[in-house]
Amino acid sequence: MTDKQTDVSTVIIINKSQLGTKTLQVKTKHLNNLSNYIIGLIVLIISLTGSIFYLQYSNDKKEAEKQQLLTQVTKLQALLPPTVTGAKKGNNSQIYIQGIESKLQKINEYLKKRGLTGFSTKAVGGNANADASKLTDEENYSLYNEYLGRLVNAVAFTPMGYPRNSSLTSFFGYRNDPFNSEHAEYHPGLDFRGSKGDEARSTAKGKVIFAGWNGGYGNCVRIAHANNYETLYGHLSHINVRVGQEVTVGEKIGEVGSTGHSTGAHLHYEVRKSGKAVNPINFLSLNK
């Protein structure tokens, strides 16, 4: 009986505004661990504060990239005079301008699907060429139109942007083995934070060449793209595509999970060039 009583401590609460006191019985082990509870609470508050600052930083960065894109598009459009003397010439010029505006809109759509907001317009239409000044307006317009056409194609078939919009939990290269901290392992991709069931999306047009269980990758999807590029999405809880299926930019190909060699729910993402893993961080922004 005495042993049981020592497990409980009595806390006396003194009320200064009124006479008398109150008592509160608390298990002794909770009082002994009070400092640990306080430290845990402080760590939690710091973590939440850090997350808020990180999200604010990410939003500010995306807004800055958006403004950069708008500035670049404005500069490009400023190079095109609104009218050209001569009815026939003016009509042709208007057709070129409409074609360029259409391609700009299509580029913006691709960028939005990838979460990207910037691209370079250096050397567009032969501006870097010393003979550019000798070209007529229509020839310049044609070169701009051709450049943007190639840009649309490159953006569509090159893996770019985020397979899911979230922060990174692990990077490309050597790292501590999450199953054995005393050993290092080579990590051929990026890990994106996520919860089971979150959507994983294709980062480029392509064809599914694998969809199923793949050893340590667990449920895995591999997509082949143009120019010998390939993307891989691992540890999925569910696969939404099949082998041979054509997929587009931003299309859902599966759901985040923790299958295979994994310590928790996340999305493993790889970019391969001619079968060799390359750092996907270089493909997350068109400015890299």
Instruction: Tell me the CATH number at 215.
Output: 2.70.70.10
Rounded distance between C-alpha atoms, residue 71 and residue 152, angstroms: 19
Among the three residues 129, 157, 185, which one is the final residue of a domain in this structure? Answer: 157
Same domain, 267 and 172: yes
pLDDT at residue number 155: 75
Residue 46, domain member (yes or no): no
Residue 38, domain member (yes or no): no
Residue 140, domain member (yes or no): yes
pLDDT at residue number 36: 76
pLDDT in tens, the chain (288 residues): 444 445 766 656 666 665 666 666 666 666 667 777 788 888 888 888 887 887 777 767 766 766 666 666 666 655 555 544 444 445 566 676 667 777 777 777 767 666 665 555 555 544 455 555 566 767 777 777 777 777 777 777 888 888 987 888 888 888 777 676 667 788 899 999 999 999 999 999 999 999 999 999 999 999 999 888 999 999 999 999 999 999 998 899 999 999 998 989 999 999 999 999 999 988 887 655
Same domain, 278 and 172: yes
Same domain, 251 and 209: yes
Same domain, 92 and 129: yes
Q: For the chain, what is the domain count?
A: 3
Residue 44, domain member (yes or no): no
pLDDT at residue number 115: 61
Same domain, 215 and 264: yes
Same domain, 146 and 172: no
Same domain, 27 and 117: no
pLDDT at residue number 63: 67
Q: 16 is in which domain, residue-wise?
A: 2-32
Read off the tokens for 282: 């270089």
Residue 37, domain member (yes or no): no
Same domain, 214 and 258: yes
Same domain, 195 and 146: no
Same domain, 153 and 108: yes
Q: What is the pTM of this model?
A: 0.57
Residue 224, domain member (yes or no): yes
Same domain, 232 and 269: yes
Residue 39, domain member (yes or no): no
Same domain, 132 and 219: no
